[in-house]
Chains A and B, each alone.
Chain A
């Protein structure tokens, strides 16, 4: 139940990370009369993979949008490294539930969106990282859902961000594709060592990918659970299964 528990292996991973530290202090946000977040404090360590789970409407997507700078908090402060969250930067990238590719641009140009200078080689190598270099010149409309999300991942990682925000990016995919995407995300995260924050309603996904799982409930972090298992994580690891069960149990208790 302690928020600062760090397994020995984790400390080692966080060495020489490129990731940014994220600090949230007393963050509050309400829509009309509904208080979605209230006095939330959270520190995400540089290079950490944090998952945020919770029931629908618990404010987890809102929290991610605040960190991404897409919305402003009503109160409190969010810093990413040395920077305020509201400043836009190529150090922060977001992957949405839908791939949001531009249908009128080739896959390669989609990856290079907003990039300046000689971006083509970079974009191509980002596509290689997700195994889609051969589709560089295709229109996005001919790709499958999983391939589109891989292109979105390549686009997000092309600028080597310090922080990657994932807003249920695998929610719309079938089970098998989702599993492959999880492996892919884990692989690129281990290689590039950015800080990652994943919002998901899928507890299995959260414990598979995250170093810590935050359970959001009643407009605040109700539980922060470390996941110390070694990586790459195996499918059907009983330890992960136990963890998942206990988090799910806690989740089901809420408001019932």
Chain B
């Protein structure tokens, strides 16, 4: 028992030491509160905001923006990736344009976005959608392009064509690549949202931290950062679960969970 428990504890040793050191230095006044609050103070802020219900409102607003942007950009990216992966004509027509636009850092569009959409939901959803479009588009495109030709030929011999060929061969073959795109997109989704909400917002976690900055509430700022981290981790973890479920056939996803 003891031998099994030990390796499980090992990865947690360093984080615990860091946390303890942080707590100690703050407690003894080595780090001023306005630079960094103690972990216990962050915890207190969390309890306070949970009790007032404020935190849930901000998380709900931020998540809604994030997933609305993901849905818009992801669906468009997926459909165009499919289209260009399957059709030579649209590939010739669109792909090089997309590759050019891809080089625009989407966060550079923030000033334009504010001019176009104001500081409403529109600008944030647009930015997130723009950011997640490319990883999903590119990975869907490459997934479809790299389906083994032998499998397609085999499918044709066995009478598959059109939708049945897509459903039984093209889509499942491209799925591992598409899910990689989704994981990238989720990272970009939160990152974009953090920046967009910090620059201009009247609600959401970014707004919460920016308001806290004005009142020097470093505990709330650190809490906001931790919430972003947790949301990002949660989204990544969900995709990992989907991969395990949908790619159970793949040797890379077999073995102990």
Residues of chain A touching chain B, judged by Cβ–Cβ distance below 8 Å, are 68, 70, 88, 90, 92-94, 96, 98, 100, 102-105, 113-114, 139, 141, 155
Bound state CA distance, A113 and B247, in angstroms? Answer: 19
B29 at the interface (CB under 8 A from A): no
Given A139-B249, A141-B249, also A104-B172 (CB < 8 A) = yes
Q: Do B151 and A96 touch (CB < 8 A)?
A: no
Which chain A residues lie closer than 8 Å to B173 at the CB level?
A: 104
Q: Do A93 and B249 touch (CB < 8 A)?
A: no
* Nearest CB in chain B to that of A98: its residue: B150
B159 at the interface (CB under 8 A from A): yes
Q: Do B159 and A105 touch (CB < 8 A)?
A: no
Among A90, A98, A102, contact of B168 (Cβ-Cβ < 8 Å): A102
Q: Do B157 and A94 touch (CB < 8 A)?
A: yes
Interface residues of B in 156-174 (CB under 8 A from A): 156-160, 164, 168-169, 172-173
B54 at the interface (CB under 8 A from A): no
Q: Do B169 and A70 touch (CB < 8 A)?
A: no
Among B154, B172, B175, B250, contact of A100 (Cβ-Cβ < 8 Å): B154
Q: Do A103 and B249 touch (CB < 8 A)?
A: yes
Which chain B residues lie closer than 8 Å to A98 at the CB level?
A: 150
B39 at the interface (CB under 8 A from A): no
Which chain A residues lie closer than 8 Å to B248 at the CB level?
A: 139
Interface residues of B in 16-66 (CB under 8 A from A): none
Q: Do B251 and A113 touch (CB < 8 A)?
A: no
Given A102-B172, A114-B164, also A68-B157 (CB < 8 A) = yes
Bound state CA distance, A68 and B247, in angstroms? Answer: 33
Which chain B residues lie closer than 8 Å to A92 at the CB level?
A: 157
* Nearest CB in chain A to that of B248: its residue: A139
Some 21 contacts from A to B, beta carbons below 8 A apart, are A88-B157, A90-B159, A92-B157, A93-B157, A96-B150, A96-B154, A100-B150, A100-B151, A102-B168, A102-B172, A104-B173, A104-B175, A104-B250, A105-B172, A113-B158, A113-B160, A113-B168, A114-B155, A139-B248, A139-B249, A155-B158
Bound state CA distance, A139 and B151, in angstroms? Answer: 16
Bound state CA distance, A96 and B227, in angstroms? Answer: 54
Q: A90-B158, A141-B251 are in contact. List 9 more A-B contacts (CB 8 A).
A: A70-B153, A94-B154, A94-B157, A100-B150, A100-B153, A100-B154, A102-B172, A104-B173, A155-B158
Q: Do B157 and A70 touch (CB < 8 A)?
A: yes
Which chain B residues lie closer than 8 Å to A139 at the CB level?
A: 248-249
Residues of chain B touching chain A, judged by Cβ–Cβ distance below 8 Å, are 150-151, 153-160, 164, 168-169, 172-173, 175, 247-251
Closest beta carbon of chain A to B60's beta carbon, Å: 37
Which chain A residues lie closer than 8 Å to B250 at the CB level?
A: 103-104, 141
Bound state CA distance, A105 and B173, in angstroms? Answer: 11
Among B150, B153, B155, B172, contact of A113 (Cβ-Cβ < 8 Å): B155
Closest beta carbon of chain A to B119's beta carbon, Å: 45
Closest beta carbon of chain A to B196's beta carbon, Å: 38
Bound state CA distance, A68 and B156, in angstroms? Answer: 11
* Nearest CB in chain A to that of B247: its residue: A104
Which chain A residues lie closer than 8 Å to B175 at the CB level?
A: 104
Bound state CA distance, A96 and B250, in angstroms? Answer: 22
Please name the 6 residue pairs, one residue from A and one from B, whose CB atoms are nearest each other, closest first. Answer: A114-B158, A100-B154, A104-B172, A114-B159, A104-B249, A139-B249
* Nearest CB in chain B to that of A70: its residue: B153
Which chain A residues lie closer than 8 Å to B247 at the CB level?
A: 104
Which chain A residues lie closer than 8 Å to B159 at the CB level?
A: 88, 90, 114
Bound state CA distance, A71 and B203, in angstroms? Answer: 62
Bound state CA distance, A93 and B164, in angstroms? Answer: 18
* Nearest CB in chain A to that of B160: its residue: A114
Closest beta carbon of chain A to B46's beta carbon, Å: 43
* Nearest CB in chain B to that of A90: its residue: B159
Of the candidates A113, A139, A141, the one having the most CB atoms from chain B within 10 angstroms of its own CB is A113
* Nearest CB in chain A to that of B157: its residue: A94
Which chain B residues lie closer than 8 Å to A102 at the CB level?
A: 151, 168-169, 172
Closest beta carbon of chain B to A161's beta carbon, Å: 10
Bound state CA distance, A105 and B164, in angstroms? Answer: 14
Bound state CA distance, A70 and B172, in angstroms? Answer: 23
Bound state CA distance, A139 and B251, in angstroms? Answer: 10
Of the candidates B155, B158, B249, the one having the most CB atoms from chain A within 10 angstroms of its own CB is B158
Bound state CA distance, A95 and B168, in angstroms? Answer: 19
Closest beta carbon of chain B to A74's beta carbon, Å: 20
Which chain B residues lie closer than 8 Å to A88 at the CB level?
A: 156-157, 159
Which chain B residues lie closer than 8 Å to A70 at the CB level?
A: 153, 156-157
Which chain A residues lie closer than 8 Å to B158 at the CB level?
A: 90, 93, 113-114, 155
